[in-house]
């Protein structure tokens, strides 16, 4: 490294970028992404009301040549798809087990010069009026910005809203996060609780 501050973590190769672009193009999706120069961030991806959100989100990450780590339900990491999920940046989380996920993730942010963690703040594809707080706890404890990403099924586009720093007040931070999303963005709007 030449001493320059690292930007957004990059990953993949020409083949993975081609695959990501091909998937988006095949379904008529486009990207509205101006990447900020952030070496570390918590990316919140919403709305998450369908399995298609994961497919299009991963296609966008591949198309842009990004390296994003993400938490997924531990059951996604068993069986024949487990190696693929890990290769795509997945980290299995058993949500039934209490543990120090926030502390471990905060330590990882301190240890690595570049780390972007993608989370679905809703925590489920089903209707959930109380979004999970892990995104805010991790970003605040690690001192990294939150970068809201949207998956807009109505307009068939994926994009980023401006990054922001958490205040430590969950309700205020949640209100700021939710301000960038609209119910009609969701594949299943009745499942998206704003």
C-alpha pair distances (Å), 110 with each of 39, 97, 107, 164:
12, 24, 5, 19
> What is the distance between the alpha carbons of residues 84 and 107, in angstroms, rounded to a whole number?
26
The predicted structure's pLDDT at residue 6: 67
Q: What is the mean pLDDT of the chain?
A: 89
The predicted structure's pLDDT at residue 114: 92
Nearest to 59 by CA among 107, 102, 16, 110: 16
The predicted structure's pLDDT at residue 179: 93
pLDDT at 97 over 80: no
The predicted structure's pLDDT at residue 96: 65
The predicted structure's pLDDT at residue 3: 41
The predicted structure's pLDDT at residue 99: 59
Q: In terms of pLDDT, which residue wins out, 25 or 35?
A: 25
pLDDT at 149 over 70: yes
User: Rounded to 5 degrees, what are φ and ψ at 27?
Assistant: -100, 5
Q: With bands split at pLDDT 50, 70 and 90, how would you rate the model's confidence at 194?
A: confident
Which of 125-129, 162-166, 189-193 has the largest mean confidence? 162-166
Q: In terms of pLDDT, which residue wins out, 107 or 185?
A: 185
Percent of the chain with pLDDT over 70: 94
The predicted structure's pLDDT at residue 89: 82
């Amino acid at each position: 490294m030449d001493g320059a501050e690292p930007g957004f973590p990059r990953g993949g190769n020409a083949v993975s970028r081609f695959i990501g672009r091909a998937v988006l193009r095949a379904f008529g999706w486009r990207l509205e992404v101006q990447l900020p120069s952030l070496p570390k961030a918590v990316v919140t991806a919403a709305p998450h009301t369908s399995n298609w959100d994961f497919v299009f989100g991963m296609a966008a990450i591949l198309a842009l040549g990004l390296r994003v780590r993400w938490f997924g339900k531990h059951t996604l990491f068993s069986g024949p798809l487990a190696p693929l999920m890990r290769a795509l940046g997945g980290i299995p989380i058993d949500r039934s087990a209490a543990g120090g996920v926030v502390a471990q993730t905060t330590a990882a942010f301190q240890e690595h010069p570049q780390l972007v963690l993608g989370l679905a703040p809703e925590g489920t594809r089903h209707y959930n009026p109380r979004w999970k707080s892990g995104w805010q706890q991790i970003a605040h404890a690690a001192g990294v910005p939150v970068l809201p990403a949207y998956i807009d099924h109505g307009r068939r586009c994926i994009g980023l809203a401006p990054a922001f720093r958490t205040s430590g007040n969950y309700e205020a931070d949640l209100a700021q996060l939710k301000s960038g999303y609209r119910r009609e963005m969701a594949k299943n709007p009745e499942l998206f609780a704003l």
